[in-house]
Structures are given as C-alpha cells and as structure tokens.
Structure 1
C-alpha cells in the first residue's frame, strides 16, 4: 500500500445522505454520533432547551472540551420534548430520519411517549439504537450506570492496580467509549440489513457487556488460577505469561517494553549489552522469563535508567523490539505524524480559543480529506433544520422559540 495520504476530494463519504437524530448525552451516545458524522452522515444533535448535561461541566461557564470533541461535525437543534408541540415536531423529524440513537436510562423515552415502539410504527425503516448501562431488559436494567460504577461492577477494577494497593479504575472513561463504538457497530449492522430487507429495527448495547470481552487477558488469568480471582499486577502482564512486560524508569520519564516472542528478548538482551541473557536457561524461553519476571524487570530497568525514553524507543525500534516512550498529553497533542494523518487538529475554537482536538480514527480511502467542523452551539441550527427537513418558515420558528417549544442560539 502506497505511503501517501489516500484522500480524494472528488470521492464521497460512506454515510453521505444518511439522516441521523442524535439524542446522546455525555460520552457514550455522542461518540457513536460523532463517528457517523465523521463518516459523512447528517447528524442532528437534539438537546433540551437547557442543553445536555455535559454542557454544565465546564469551568467558568465555558463549554467543556469533551463536548466540543464529541459533537464536532454535527448540527444542533433544541426542542422541548415535554410539550405537545415540541413532541409533534420531534415526531415529524423522526419520519424523515434513517437512524435515531440515545443513551438514556431504560424507559425514559417511553415515559415521554416517544419510545421505540411508537417511533418504528411511524417510520418502519428507522434504525433505533439504544445504549444503556445494563440493557433495556433483564434483572439489572434499572441499575444506575456511570463509567466508574460499571468498571467496578464488570470486574475491571478488581484486576487493575498495584499488587499491594486497592482496586483502581482505568484512567479513561473506557466503558463509555466501548459503549459508543459498539453502538456505532450495531447501527451499521442494522443499516446493512435494512438495505436488504427494507425494514428497520431496534438495536441495543449494554455498557457492562462491552467490558467483558475486553477483559480477555484477565479472564485468561482467572482460568489459569483455577477460577479464582487473579491478583492485581500493576503494569506487568495480567496473566503473568510474558516478560519483560512493564513500564521502566528512564533518565527523563518512563518507557514501556514488551517481549512477546523469544526473538524479541534475544534482540533486547543484545541491545542491553547482555548477550548471555539471550540464551541463559532462566530467560531463553517465554515460560522461563515469566517465571523469572522479577529478575527480568531488574535487569531491564538497570539498562533503561541510563538512557532517555526516546533513546530507548529508538534502539528498540532498530532491534524490532516492541517499545514506546510514556508520553505526556502535551507531547501527544504536539505529535506531527498524528496531524499528518488527520487524527489531531489544531483549531481556533469560537468559544475556547486555540485547542487541539482529535478526529475520527476511521479512515475511508478514496473519500475527501477529513476536516474538523465545529460543534454546534445550543440550538444553533434549529431554524435551518426545521425549514430544511419540515418546511417550517423562519417566522414560525421565531414563534415556537418565543413559546418555549424550541430553542435557538443567540
């Protein structure tokens, strides 16, 4: 494959022409909508008149950067769904939509009178996607769900952290984003089926369930322990089957090194100036290294402490040993290769000023070059969307706004 940008300004986006109603909030649902918007869909972010909850999390009244990131490329409309007229407008939008996604608690949409049964009856081609903590049916559906609590309940925290410390959460909102990715996948799967059958359907994702397969290594460790809880192992391999597999101190920070195969270890031993360790019976094969993990770590860190993290990474790259410097977020934000691939953008945001924001990780060869399109202000496109989708004139929109049925940006 040629080592050049695979963009074509004359190309099309995979989801071009698709109409999506995004009722997502915080991270989970909005990330699925973000991926669709970055693939070319017309994603309409629907918010209550006061805005979705995450808008209130910013400091000094400014919009949080997370909201800016996850709603880039969408258009925005604000509707009072607790009013009859607002609900009627919403239903008219649903009639025109291909996809609706939401991540409310189970039953929230039904209580508003706009649940999936109602919407699919009006629009049988609609793909309705729901992401909840524990599913829309089942014994645990009414459990309150946030990323932290699901990390705890799904077992992630039980295996995360140092051996002599308490359980720790993953630093990322990992389950929120796993939920968003799987919701996107479920919606795409259902859209393919609709292209064959012409019929829509409901798809759902339970955040807890997205965390299960992601724990494959920890579940392997449990199996090796005869079904018992595996110990927390810090940065070492969760199942204790690979060494070196750790983060090591350097002169200016830390570096991560892992030797999956024996040839990795042989190359690393030579690079460290310890060629005898490559063939020593205590280290030559993977199971022997795992048994002697502490000695491996001591030997490796004695070497890494003499060099900088980037020097170690360079040496390991030359020797084909998997390794990487532990970079700070400012280092990542300044990374030029990420910007070359349009994975990061430096933008002058209308509310936040100069910020660095990520793009979509999905690359569609033959589509136009990705660009970053600013997130909508609350109700910024209300009039535009109502006129474009429903033929509602500007004067009527002004009246609806004055009556508290829709919101428009100032």
Structure 2
C-alpha cells in the first residue's frame, strides 16, 4: 500500500507530533451504507481504533460493489478500519459482541430503530455489560415519534424533509439533490453527538445513548427556502433553480460561458461594485434599479440577463481568473473528473492517490478534520470481508485457533 500524503499541521517546525485526539479510543462500527460508516471513518482518521463489524456476507454497501459503482463508495468510507465479520443472528455471535463491548468505548449503528433491541444487544442490554459505553444510533426519523418505524433512506428523507420540493426548476418536477446529503449530514451529526457524550463521560464516568435523526439534521439546511416561505405568508415557494433559495441575493446564479458555466454570487455592495468593474460597466452602479440589493432582487431577471451577456463572451477559466482578480465570489462549474484531480485538495492531502488492493490506483478522501500538532494518518485501504476477524477475536479477545475454527464452521463469522 502506498499513498501520496501531506503532513498534518504541526504546532511548530520540528516539534514532536502529538497523538491524534482519539488515540486509544475503541469503536465498534456496525454502520451500513453511508450514514454510520462515514461517522466511523471520521473517528478512525481522528486516531480511534475502529473495528468494522459486518455480517458474514458483508454489509449492504460492500455488496453493491458487484454492480454499478458501489465498490469505490465503500472504499471511500471504510479506510483505516479493522474488518471483522460476526453473525448477530446467532447467540454465539451476540455473545462475542458483548465481549467486544466490554473493551470498547463506543458502539455505533444505523440499523432501523429497534433492530438491535430485537437481537438482545440494544443499548439497555449493552449498558449492563459496559456502563461506560457510548452507544450512537443514527436513523431516518429518530427512536421516538409517529414516524419512527417508517423505512428511511437518503432519497426518502430528501422527499420527507422538503429538499426535493425546493430542488430543480419552477417549470419542472421536483428533483433529488445530487449528493446523499441526508446520509452524510446525519453521519456528521452522529459524530458530534458521540464525541459530546465521550467528553461528558470523562467528567461523569458514565456512558449514554445518543441518537441522530437524518430528518432533524437536514432541517436547518433549509434556512434560505424557509425564509422565503415565512416571508411569503406561508405560501409554498417555487423551485428556484440555480437562484438563491430564498430569492434574497442577486446576482446569484449559474451563468453561461463560451465553453461551460460559472457560478457567481454577490453578497453586498462591495461584491456588486467589483463585478461591475470587471464587466467594465461601472455606470450601472448609479442606476436606481440596481442601486441596492433589494432593487437588484426586484429586477433579478434583468440583472441576470446583463451578467449572462457578459459571461458568454469568455471561456470559463479565463472568466474565473478575471473575476478572482477583482475579488468577485465565483467558481467554475466543474465535472467530477476535474474535482477528483483538484490540485488544491491533493496539495492539502484531502484527496490522495492510493493503491487499493481490489480497485487498483484510485483517489480516496482523507478526513476533513484537521488537528494541530498531529500528523495525519496515512490512508490504509479497507480490507476484504473479515480480513481482521481472527486477529481481533484471537489476538484481542484471546480465543484459541481451535475456538476460532469451530465458530467459523458454525457460521458465527
């Protein structure tokens, strides 16, 4: 395994590196698809020892690797984890989980609410095994409430939260957001919740259950659209396309260039004046219909037409360079190939070329979390199903080779 890595931010040149903040913390990661595994990934890259526990056939996202584009997402979310299989539908498998819990600090899962309880290894049962355990649970709608047991995936939560109703163009049907934002917002909030509980445990000595509902994690992101909804007296706002969700900023849109598109936003008068200077249209600043943000919003179609006529005369990258020189907030609309090759993210080590044992040479992400004084961990690509089962169950729990063989023959691993 080789990686192209960038060093973490040191406190001072030549200073010995500090341990990562979660060094010594043991996490049992029963997460699946995106929500739980991303939380586990953040924990692993912050220094925790993360033991990924899958059923013998592998978790759902790993199985997607046999069709379509499932293999790379699994690799992106499961670096730096030890891979263990455990059949929790067997009493022996549940017994081994309890043994792992005795030595663990955190267990995280995002099964449907009640799944772990039905298996006899939910929070209340595991708290009896280890009172210091932080049990982190992610779900679509939470552990309580009338919608608790409704099936929830990123798509359905996007529909339920209103994300789809505000995405797209006014004259077309609702559209899902491209990224799996509900899963990942839920995963980030789950990380925050369990880290808060770990901090509390340091003061009290007691673990606790923390939970995050994707629906609740997403709601604050609707703020611009909700602002428009409230200001219109409760009327349902139309989809605003690439314009501001609250129709409260102008210019704010995606504009054509001779070979692509560019996103431009002007927040306040300084940006607007800078854009006019770049356009060579400083005289427009004196026109009443463009004099204030409110007036520009009231004349949004005209503003967008003026900006579009200007941008269409440039190539995307040349216009980007020009606007950046004038300090106008803008960015080229890039495709995924350009994003994967982003020189800035590679320079920071946020993206790294990795020799993956199954996928070959691919780009994988590092954690967005940076810790001053600690060197970033090199990316250790995910292993095959159950790669570390014998090492964890034998070396860590102390099971003999004969016991491991017998358990495997009975379908426990």
TM-score bucket (shorter structure): over 0.9
Counterpart of 1:369 in structure 2 is: 376
Return the alpha-carbon distance in structure 1 between the equivalents of residues 167 and 8 of structure 2. Answer: 38
Tell me the SS of whatever aligns to 1:346.
strand
Counterpart of 2:9 in structure 1 is: 6
Counterpart of 1:118 in structure 2 is: 125
Aligned-CA RMSD value: 1.4
Counterpart of 2:281 in structure 1 is: 274
Cα separation, partners in 2 of 1:225 and 1:70, compared to 1, 3 Å: same
Question: Offset at 1:278?
Answer: 2.2
1:165-180 correspondence to structure 2 within 5 Å: 165-180=172-187
Structure 1 position 379 matched with structure 2 position 382: no
Tell me the SS of whatever aligns to 1:56.
helix
Counterpart of 1:37 in structure 2 is: 44
Counterpart of 1:352 in structure 2 is: 359
Question: Offset at 1:332?
Answer: 1.1
Return the alpha-carbon distance in structure 1 between the equivalents of residues 313 and 41 of structure 2. Answer: 44
Structure 1 unmatched runs, 5+ = none
The structure 1 residue matched to 2:151, chosen from 124, 144, 152, is 144
Deviations 1:194-235 (A, max 9, x none): 000000000000111111111111110111111111111100
Counterpart of 1:318 in structure 2 is: 325
Counterpart of 1:88 in structure 2 is: 95
The structure 2 residue matched to 1:209, chosen from 208, 216, 228, is 216
The structure 1 residue matched to 2:82, chosen from 40, 62, 75, is 75
Question: Offset at 1:123?
Answer: 0.5
Counterpart of 1:159 in structure 2 is: 166
Cα separation, partners in 2 of 1:399 and 1:63, compared to 1, 3 Å: farther
**Number of aligned residue pairs:** 403
1:223-372 correspondence to structure 2 within 5 Å: 223-372=230-379
Question: Offset at 1:63?
Answer: 6.1
Tell me the SS of whatever aligns to 1:109.
helix
Question: Offset at 1:396?
Answer: 2.3
Deviations 1:144-197 (A, max 9, x none): 101111111111111111011111111111000000000000000000000000
Return the alpha-carbon distance in structure 2 between the equivalents of residues 71 and 367 of structure 1. Answer: 21
Question: Offset at 1:61?
Answer: 9.2
Structure 1 contact 342–371 (Cα < 8 Å) conserved: no
Question: Offset at 1:275?
Answer: 1.1
Q: Which moved more, 1:386-395 or 1:117-126?
A: 386-395
Return the alpha-carbon distance in structure 2 between the equivalents of residues 271 and 143 of structure 1. Answer: 52
Deviations 1:243-301 (A, max 9, x none): 11000111111100000111101110111111111222111211111011111111111
Task: Report the TM-score when normalising by structure 2.
Answer: 0.95
Structure 1 position 55 matched with structure 2 position 58: no
Structure 2 unmatched runs, 5+ = 1-6
Structure 1 contact 248–301 (Cα < 8 Å) conserved: yes
Deviations 1:12-71 (A, max 9, x none): 101000000000000000000000001000000000011101122124599611001101
Return the alpha-carbon distance in structure 2 between the equivalents of residues 94 and 369 of structure 1. Answer: 28
Tell me the SS of whatever aligns to 1:30.
helix
Task: Report the TM-score when normalising by structure 1.
Answer: 0.96
Structure 1 contact 63–351 (Cα < 8 Å) conserved: no
Question: Offset at 1:387?
Answer: 2.4
Return the alpha-carbon distance in structure 2 between the equivalents of residues 318 and 309 of structure 1. Answer: 14
Structure 1 contact 342–370 (Cα < 8 Å) conserved: no
Tell me the SS of whatever aligns to 2:288.
coil
Tell me the SS of whatever aligns to 1:215.
helix
Tell me the SS of whatever aligns to 1:282.
helix
Tell me the SS of whatever aligns to 2:290.
coil
Structure 1 position 107 matched with structure 2 position 105: no
